[in-house]
Amino acid sequence: MNFGQALEALKEGKKVARESWNGKGMFIYHVEGSDVSPADLRGAAQKHVGFTKKSIADKVKINGHIDMKAADGSIVVGWLASQTDMLAEDWTVVE
């Protein structure tokens, strides 16, 4: 399938990958956006965004994005497609 079809599959909650990717177990998936309390932010987000007692009732919007499970088992947050990925016709749904 092409990249447009792969994006549609992501929106349906499916995992997709390119047949030509060399790494075993690699795939991408869609992460839905969400609203979280500033107090629930972790690590650098909490440090840099910060919050006060006044802002605890406020929400921080985390936008939807595409993440990748890499061959080494790590997660790439905010994966970006290359031009080669976008023009490829070897996308497939991962079961």
Handedness of CA 59, 63, 69, 74 (dihedral sign): negative
Query: Model confidence over 25-36: pLDDT tens digits?
Result: 999 999 999 998
> What is the reported pTM?
0.85
Domain holding 38, by residue range, is 3-94
Q: Report the chain's mean pLDDT, rounded to a whole number.
A: 91
| 37 contact partners, CB below 8 Å, separation of at least 6 | 56, 58, 59, 60
When comparing pLDDT for 49 and 61, which is higher? 61
Domain total of the chain: 1
For 32-44, the DSSP string reads --EEE-GGG--HH
